Structure 1
Amino acid sequence: MNRIWITGFRDYELGIFNNKDPKITVINYALNKILTHAINDGCKWLITGGQLGIEQWAIEQALQLKETKFPEFKVAMMTPFIDFGENWKENKQLKLGDLKKRVDFSSAVYNDSYKNPQQLRGYQNFMLAHTESSVIFYDTEAENSRAKFDYNAMQFYATNHDYPIKLIDFDRLQEYADEFQLENSDY
C-alpha cells in the first residue's frame, strides 16, 4: 500500500463549528493512530481533498507526523475543481490556502470551475484509481452526510478491485475517545 485516501464527515455534519471543540481532539487522535499505522505498514502518500472536516484534519495530522516522525511521508491535496472553496468564509479560504502551500503536492482534478455533479463522480474515480486503500469517517445512520457518496463509490469500486476500506463509524469513534481518555487521564 503506497497511497491512502482519507475522507469523511464535514465539520458541520459533526456539529463542530470552532477549532476548540473537544471532538476535534478525539478525531485528531484517531487520524494520528490511523496514519501512523498506515505509514508503518509502508504507506508513502496521503491523498485527500481539501474539504472542511476530516480531510483537512487528516492533512494537518499527516503534516505533523511528517514533521515529527516520518519526514519521508508525502501529502497531496486534490480538489475536485479549480475554484474549490472560493465560496467559503474568508477564514476557511485562508486555511485551505495555507494547507495547499504546506502539502507536497496540490492540484485540481478538473482544471475548470464547478459545472455539474459529474465532476464530483470523476473526482471520486480519480481518487479511487490513484490510491490503494481508503479510510472513511462515516456512519450509515447519518443519512444526510455527503460522505455517503464517497462511501458508496468506494464500496462499488471494491467489488471489482482489491481495495480495502476502513470505516470509522460513531461506535469506532467512541472507542477512540475511550482509548484517548485512558492514555490521557489528566486531560
Structure 2
Amino acid sequence: MMVLAVTGYKGHELGIFSNKHEAVPYIKGILKNRLAHLVEEGLEWVVISGQLGVELWAGEAVIELKDSYPDLKLAVLTPFQHQEQRWKENTQEYYQLILSKADFVDSISKRSYENPGQLQAANQFIIEKTDGLLVLYDTDQPGSPEFYLKTAHKYVELGNEYPILSISFFDINDYIEESQKSNEDDWVT
C-alpha cells in the first residue's frame, strides 16, 4: 500500500474540544505508530480531507514522522474550498499550520460549501485515488466516519481490492496502558 487515506471521528464526537485534551497525545501516538509500521511496508503518501479531529491529528503524526521517514508525504484534499471559514480563529490557525507543512494541498470542489453532495464526492474521490483506508472508528459509537466507511465498502463490493484498517477504542486503551507502563518502567530504571 503506497497511498493511504486516513479518517476518523471529529473531535467533538469524542468529547474533545481542544487539542490540549489529555486524550489527543494518545490518539496521535497510536496513529503515528500505525503509520510508521505502514511506512516500513512501503507507504509513501497519507491523504486526509482536513477535517477537525482524527484527520488533522493524523496530519500532525505524518509531519512528526517525516523526521524519521523523510520520504513520507502528506496530502490534504479538502472537499470544498474554505472549509475552515466558520471555525474559531485558533482552530483556523491550527488548520493552516497543518496545510503549510503538507506536501500537497488542493480542494476537490473548486467552490465553497453548497451541499452534502460535495462531501460524498470527496469521499468517493479519495477512496478511488488511494490504496487503502485507516479509520479510527468503533461500531458501538456512530459518527461521521460512517460516511467514509460506506463509500469504502461500496468500492470493495464493486470488486476493488481496498484494505480497510481500523483503530478501535480498545486499541486506544491498549496503547494508553502500554504508554503508561512504559513511562513507569522509565522511572524505575
TM-score, normalised to structure 2, is: 0.93
In the alignment, what sits opposite 1:39?
Answer: 39
List aligned pairs for 1:1-187, cutoff 5 A: 1-66=1-66, 68-143=67-142, 145-159=143-157, 160-185=159-184
| Contact 1:29–1:180 (CA under 8 A) maintained in structure 2 | no
5+ residue gaps, structure 2, are none
CA distance in 1, matches of 2:165, 2:3: 14
Measure how far apart 1:20 and its partner are.
Answer: 2.2
Amino acid at match of 2:141: A
SS in 1 for 2:165: strand
The aligned length equals 185
Deviation at 1:15, TM superposition (A): 1.0
* Aligned residue type for 2:178: E
For residues 21-70 of structure 1, what are the alpha-carbon distances to aligned partners after superposition, in whole Å with 9 as ceiling and x for unaligned?
A: 2211211110111110110000100111111110000000100110x201
Residues of 1 paired with 2:144 and 2:76: CA distance?
A: 19
**Which stretches in structure 1 are left out of the alignment for 5+ residues?**
none
CA distance in 1, matches of 2:40, 2:161: 20
What letter matches 2:121 in structure 1? G
Identity, % of aligned pairs?
Answer: 34
TM-score (normalizing by structure 1): 0.94
CA distance in 2, matches of 1:179, 1:162: 33
Give the Cα separation in 2 of the matches to 1:80 and 1:64: 24
